[in-house]
Amino acid sequence: MSTQQSRAPERAVRVFAPATIANLGSGFDVLGIAIDRPGDVVVAHRISEPGLNFSVQTEHQDVPSDARHNVAAHVAHLMLNQLRPRFGIQMTLHKQMPIGSGLGSSAASSVASVVAVNALLDAPLPRRDLLRFAVEGERKASGAPHADNVAPSLLGGVCLIRSYDPLDVISIRVRNTIVWVVVHPHLVVRTHDARRIMPRHLPLKVAVRQWGNVGGLTAGLASGDAALVGKCTEDVVAELARADLVPGFHEVKRAALQAGAHGCTLSGSGPSMFAVASSMRAAMQISKAMTHAFARHARVPCEVYISRVNMHGARVYTIPQR
């Protein structure tokens, strides 16, 4: 009997899927990076009955506990219905990230789910083959199957979405020296609402400027040039449409730049904001300036996450059998 065939059906896994910074300013829907934290966790094990038994544990409001409305359950169902394993899965989503954070909350749930299901299969799929399932969680959450959060959360590192039809994701080799400061204010911006206000047409000169910044971003990430990356986070499309969704946005950005950030803008659709720093010491000063600005101008507390690029993405931990 093969090793795969002899696996115990009650084998269990714990999967952590990290948060992400999508867009990186000018790279709307095409660039994203994984960071170390926060993230979501899925615990899953095999059961003899076919199908999915799903539950949620969370302290956050508005997280759907009904499997019909939860992205983690949705993508798990898609995998089970297509792959039809000889067992079912008991899954618990430990939802640690708030919805509408701008840090890829729905993507982290979807990625943790598909990686957990895959780890329990007799013949797991290659990691990249899971992208097609994970993006369906984004479709359910926001109406658009964008991959700039799910790709880096799944694969780690910096991901460029070269094409959506067909889906083509390129992992960019980077010199991992840049420090990313992420400040999450206690506000909510729904991705669906933020996408709805995006402009549908752009003047050619605006598009050309944005393209130049995307090219500069990729070059700066590859070389570890924080100054170039910061300069190229300039976003002449989404930021103009979305800045007013985040109280204090302009003041926080100004505070970050004055504290030494090379660039600062929205993480994803917000309300989280990120800044680019050259060192951990600079990152600490920038984070303090940003949190103080949010407290002063928006009167909200914040969480701070400081990280280099997370090169690993989702991680699988096998739960020992009793």
193 and 280, same domain (yes or no): yes
Judgement on whether residues 37 and 157 belong to the same structural domain of the protein: yes
Q: Is the pLDDT of residue 273 over 90?
A: yes
In a domain, 123, yes or no: yes
Average pLDDT, the chain: 93
Mean pLDDT over 11-30 rounds to: 96
* pLDDT classification of 4: cutoffs 50, 70, 90: very low
Kindly state whether residue 138 falls inside one of the protein's structural domains: yes
Find the mean pLDDT for residues 224-238.
96
Q: 223 pLDDT exceeds 70?
A: yes
Beta bridge partners of 276: 180, 263
Go through 29-39 and write b for each residue having 16 or more CB atoms within 10 A of its CB, e for each that does not. Answer: bbbbbbbebbb
pTM, two decimals, is 0.93
**CATH number of the domain encompassing residue 253:** 3.30.70.890
pLDDT digit string (tens) for 169-189? 999 999 999 999 999 999 988
User: Do the bridges between strand 12-22 and strand 88-95 make them parallel or antiparallel, or are there none, so unpaired?
Assistant: unpaired
Length of the chain: 322
Q: Which residues are catalytic?
A: 138, 191
Q: Is the pLDDT reported for residue 9 higher than 70?
A: no
Q: Residue 3: its pLDDT value, please?
A: 40
Structure confidence by residue, pLDDT tens digits, 276-294: 999 999 999 999 999 999 9
Q: For residue 190, what pLDDT band results from cuts at 50, 70 and 90?
A: confident
Are residues 61 and 123 part of one domain? yes
Owner of token pair 């714990």: 14
Determine contact, residues 189/99, Cβ cutoff 8 Å.
no
The pLDDT, as a whole number, for residue 321 is 66
Query: Within this chain, do residues 159 and 41 fall inside the same structural domain, yes or no?
Result: yes
The single residue listed with the structure tokens 């946005």 is 249
What pLDDT does residue 6 have? 44
256 and 136 within one domain: no
Q: In total, how many domains does the chain have?
A: 2
Q: Which H or E run contains 316?
A: strand 315-319
Average pLDDT over residues 291-314: 97
**pLDDT confidence band for 70 (50 / 70 / 90):** very high
Report whether pLDDT(16) > 70: yes
Whole-number Å distance between alpha carbons of 213 and 239:
14
